Structure 1
């Protein structure tokens, strides 16, 4: 600010305001205009920048039922009555967490998951191979496949 005022008082511009007048008459008005323009520009630019899709936030019915993992770490989701068991990899070890929600809710929320059985959703990126016509290998897991959903898995 003092550098700008020194330029204003230099022979190049030779301004007539004192520092206090210059600060209130010029700089405060310029700050108000600049902040308004910057806030409007920021609100539009935020809409243009895509949100991080890599992090999944899985929420259950209970307040404390929250799991945040990367999409690439999620292996599968299995039904466990009123809960779902989420299997994921963390530091090359298989982990699981029970969350109170339904398989249907997770399938609607995360549309990249494929249903291979009435009780199982898988992340297709962890599909390794078919064991036989009724089961598949995933990363560090094996799951059954029902005849109802095997066409969906073959299509992907």
Structure 2
């Protein structure tokens, strides 16, 4: 009688809680784990849409890859400027510029805080010491650091 009670208790405690803990750990790993890519790419109608995910994992943002004009980094956040029917739009997400640059190969790094889409370049001004770039739909000129000035100039001429 005592042995059967022990067997029932053992089944309830270890098997029941074991299953619950296993399911809970799988859920937590998916939610907080680094298994997912920050950016997923998929094609629809010859246009590549991308899903940019925040490091918070709750926030995501879908945009056409060719609609991104530029990305600006500010501390732990990035401002993504993109074109829609209404004009230039801005989306702020928590991520790093280097993380986005590894996923978005079509963007060109022009400064430690900026990635640009070369398709939107209107003009490159100045020299390697004090360069700037003017983009379509953007009023202010963006800085170009001397490290990236030559590559920006070459991509503008092509």
Q: TM-score, normalised by structure 1?
A: 0.63
Q: 1:2-151 maps to which residues of 2 (within 5 A)?
A: 52=43, 54-133=48-127, 134-141=131-138, 142-151=141-150
Higher strand share: 2
Cα distance in 1 between the residues matched to 2:76 and 2:55:
10
Return structure 1 stretches of 4+ with deviation > 2 angstroms: none
* CA RMSD between the two structures: 1.5
5+ residue gaps, structure 2, are 1-41
Whose Rg is larger? 1
154 and 131 in structure 1: CA distance in 2 versus 1, 3 angstrom threshold: closer
5+ residue gaps, structure 1, are 1-50
Aligned residues: 106
Q: TM-score, normalised by structure 2?
A: 0.63
Cα distance in 2 between the residues matched to 1:54 and 1:111:
13
